[in-house]
Structure 1
Amino acid sequence: MEALVLLAFALLALGMIGSILPLLPSGLTSLAGVAAYWWQTGRPGPLALAALVVFGVAATLVDWFGGALGANAGGASTRTTLIAAGVGLLLIPLGGPVGIILGIAGTVFALEYYRHGDHEASLKTAAYATAGVLASALAQLLLTGAMFAILLAAHFL
């Protein structure tokens, strides 16, 4: 197997890992793998390539906006969502993915409780934010996993 094809599959695998690990752009990494594979082999064809690009862009958008959409769906303010995202990023070195989840949930709860004084509503909003982060990771994993599987099939079938 050519070195560029091996690199492509390594990037695709890394993209799947990036779905779960913070600060590793899963969709963009997988797109780089698709580009390397296509550059080396000329495959897949235009329709499959377009589908792979759509999957990669979708994974990137979910990565960037999934948690915020979950928080907003739960009723969090834009300010709360932005602060929670910042706290989550700051907690990456201390707790990795768990630090992000706990940081976002705790920040959303605290800020929304401060804003409204309603324990139950704040808890609900924090739960939505947490679900958004987890759903984002799952969606990224499914999209990047599909990209990996499609190129694997294209290579060996």
Structure 2
Amino acid sequence: MVDWFVVGSLALLVVGVVGSVVPLVPGTLSSLVGVYLYWWTSGYTDPGPLLLAALTVVGVLALVADYFGGAVSARAGGASMVTTTLAAIVGIALFFVVGPLGIVLGVAGTVFVVEFYRHRDPERSLRAALYAAVGVLASTVVQLLVTVTMLVALVAVILL
């Protein structure tokens, strides 16, 4: 007999992996919901408390990296808070026009243009833009690694 809650848990974890690389699909959040749905289904026994805590902490850290990775890295590259806010808005808007590439190009391009307008220093503007682009890409890689790890961990719990 098929336990539909287990199937749902695994489906949420797969959505989490897909969502880690597809913008606007809640990757890590879906994975966390899948883990907790399975935990609830198991009568709060599987995964054990230590693994559940580890998956939760790693998932929350990945969420933070997702939401703030680009902004933090742009700030580390010297961009202002106004610049990073504008970059986020443009990146999301360009996603709907050119897809995932729009996020990276929108964030990096906006950071470069606004920082160049503020300081008239192309080198400084380019550095901030590169930091922002790397931050966006790095947060995606972190999310992918975390969601795949969560999926593998839960499959191992189910099979063992």
TM value normalised by structure 1: 0.96
Whichever residue aligns with residue 133 of structure 1, its letter is V
User: Distance in 2 between the 1:14 and 1:59 partners?
Assistant: 15
User: Distance in 1 between the 2:38 and 2:48 partners?
Assistant: 12
Conserved? CA contact 1:25–1:60, under 8 Å: no
What's the counterpart of residue 17 of structure 1? Answer: 18
What's the counterpart of residue 9 of structure 2? Answer: 8
Secondary structure in 2 matching 1:91: helix
**Cα RMSD between the aligned structures?**
0.9
Secondary structure in 1 matching 2:21: coil
User: Distance in 2 between the 1:52 and 1:61 partners?
Assistant: 14
User: Distance in 1 between the 2:58 and 2:26 partners?
Assistant: 13
2:149 paired with 1:146: yes
2:61 paired with 1:34: no
Cα shift at 1:55: 1.6
User: Distance in 2 between the 1:70 and 1:25 partners?
Assistant: 21
2:35 paired with 1:57: no
1:34-74 per-residue CA deviation (whole Å, 9 max, x = no partner) reads 01111112311111111111121111111111111110111
> Alignment partner for residue 94 of structure 2, among 88, 91, 94?
91
Secondary structure in 1 matching 2:24: coil
Paired positions, count? 157
Whichever residue aligns with residue 61 of structure 2, its letter is A
User: Distance in 2 between the 1:102 and 1:58 partners?
Assistant: 25
1:124-156 per-residue CA deviation (whole Å, 9 max, x = no partner) reads 110000000000000111111111111111111
What's the counterpart of residue 137 of structure 2? Answer: 134
Whichever residue aligns with residue 131 of structure 1, its letter is V
Q: Which runs of 5+ in 2 are unaligned?
A: none
Structure 1, 35-44 or 108-117: larger mean CA deviation? 35-44
